[in-house]
Amino acid sequence: MPETPPSTELREEMRGPVMWLTIDREERRNAISPAVLAGLGDAIARANSDNAVRAVVITGAGTRAFCAGADLHSGSSFKFDYAAPYQGFANLFRQARQSTVPLIARVNGACMAGGMGLMAMCDMAVAGSQAVFGLPEVKVGLFPAQVLSVLGGLLPRRVLAEMCITGEPIDAAQALQLNLVNRVSDDVDESVDWLLGRMLDKSPAAIRRGLYTMKKIEAMAFEESMAFTESQIGLFALTEDAAEGQLAFREKRRPQWSGR
């Protein structure tokens, strides 16, 4: 797919079948701006419309911060059109929930406030050992709101309450213990490569339809979920990738995926 023109705040790069999105506001600890928000939404939409894109990696420039959340220096981060029922940051979370292209957060430093939302909206997350995670909004008279919708299913209730109410951060080791991230290592790119290496050789069709299934059943009751998944398994089996994967298994060879 063609690359977009260079942006001063969000860099986009295709590395093979993987789209890399880098928040490039290092002087602001990669805080979220309107341009960053719009760029992320646009890029994720394009990734989901292009079958050649197998994954999206979201990260921040430099080594100090993944994303510090809203840009408090602007003085306008929390000023909205209150007549509009849907807001930009919340819409990005809605979009991520609908994405059938895996989103991976590469947490290369401080992951704070709205940055926690960006990390949590992703399907998987890896972190450098120096990364820290926090919800410090109470320290400036605010409280985490939209990010709770994507963090609530990841952190235990009491841990999340403590982080919100005290504003105190946790380190990468604690984040791993709490299953907030998938992997932690001194070399965060090593973890990204480990994940991608074990994903890109798998069926593109199975992953896309599988993510769709996983995300659809999250809010369903048990019986509704069972009815939905027992219909989905039949659709999985009808794909070209399913036929090829089973044939390759019988013939003891590597499958040649079509992604259909």
pLDDT in tens, 21-34: 999 999 999 999 99
Looking at residue 220, its pLDDT comes to 94
The proportion of the chain whose per-residue pLDDT surpasses 70, expressed as a percent, equals 93
**Do the Cβ atoms of 195 and 103 come closer than 8 Å?**
no
List the one residue out of 54, 51, 59 whose CA is nearest residue 19. Answer: 54
Confidence of residue 75 (pLDDT cuts 50, 70, 90): low
If one compares 81 and 156, the residue with the highest pLDDT of the two is 156
**Is the full-model pTM beyond 0.85?**
yes
Mean pLDDT of 71-99: 78
Q: For residue 38, what is the enclosing H or E element?
A: helix 34-48
Confidence of residue 250 (pLDDT cuts 50, 70, 90): very high
Distances (CA, A) of 216 to 40, 98, 135, 226: 22, 9, 28, 12
Domain segments of the chain as ranges:
10-197, 204-251
Instruction: Answer whether residue 145 shows pLDDT above 60.
Output: yes
For tokens 């260079």, name the residue. Answer: 6
Handedness of CA 82, 215, 116, 199 (dihedral sign): negative
**Residue 112 and residue 77: Cα distance in Å, rounded?**
15
Distances (CA, A) of 71 to 32, 76, 77: 6, 8, 6
Looking at residue 1, its pLDDT comes to 47
Confidence of residue 7 (pLDDT cuts 50, 70, 90): low
Neighbours of 128 (CB within 10 A): 20
Looking at residue 2, its pLDDT comes to 46
Looking at residue 13, its pLDDT comes to 97
**Do the Cβ atoms of 239 and 259 come closer than 8 Å?**
no
Q: Which CATH architecture has domain 10-197?
A: Alpha-Beta Complex (3.90)
Instruction: Answer whether residue 141 shows pLDDT above 60.
Output: yes
**Residue 31 and residue 115: Cα distance in Å, rounded?**
8
